[in-house]
A = this chain, B = another copy of it.
Amino acid sequence: MKIGELARRSGVKVETVRYYEREGLLPEPARSEGNYRLYREAHAERLDFIRHCRALDMTLDEIRALLACQDDPDQPCEEADALIEAHLGHVEQRIAQLSRLKAELEGLRRRCAGQGKVGECGILNELSQPVDPPATLEHAHVGGVHPRR
């Protein structure tokens, strides 16, 4: 299987597959006579694993750690379980933070009468008030509201 077919099967771009190889998440595959990468089923499964984890918003570092567990199947699974638990914590923290932002945005919205001019709008006046620096979460990584195109 060449890189294009692997990428299609797992729903990623070809460049992403090569990126995962550079990052050490996918092992270097065999090469054809013409220097093309040649993949096997095991590569496709590993790529699905990675994409599954990415769909859960894990970092590549978290995924690397999980893959290291998986590559050692006789070890107890405590470490892998702890990684999932920790990441669940990251997601929960981010949900809590975004819920606070949502409440603040809804409060902001209520401060606009709707027919006024910018100079009188409660929204913009409120936003000019200083803000106490947002508490920096320790291992937070579950990110932005805005996607990359």
**Interface on A for B, CB 8 Å cutoff?**
10-11, 45, 48-49, 51-53, 55-57, 59, 66, 69-70, 72-77, 80-81, 84-85, 87-88, 90-95, 98-99, 101-102, 104-106, 108-109, 112, 114-121, 123-124, 127-134, 136-137, 139-147
Chain B residue nearest in CB terms to A10: B130
With a 10 A CB-CB cut-off, give which of A45, A51, A72, A101 has the most chain B CB atoms.
A101
A29 to B107, CA, bound (A): 33
A69 to B119, CA, bound (A): 9
Cβ–Cβ < 8 Å partners of A51 in chain B: 130-131
Contact of B66 with A84 in the complex, beta carbons under 8 Å: no
A52 to B133, CA, bound (A): 9
- Name the distance in Å between A91's Cβ and chain B's nearest Cβ: 5
Contact of A77 with B121 in the complex, beta carbons under 8 Å: yes
Contact of B93 with A145 in the complex, beta carbons under 8 Å: yes
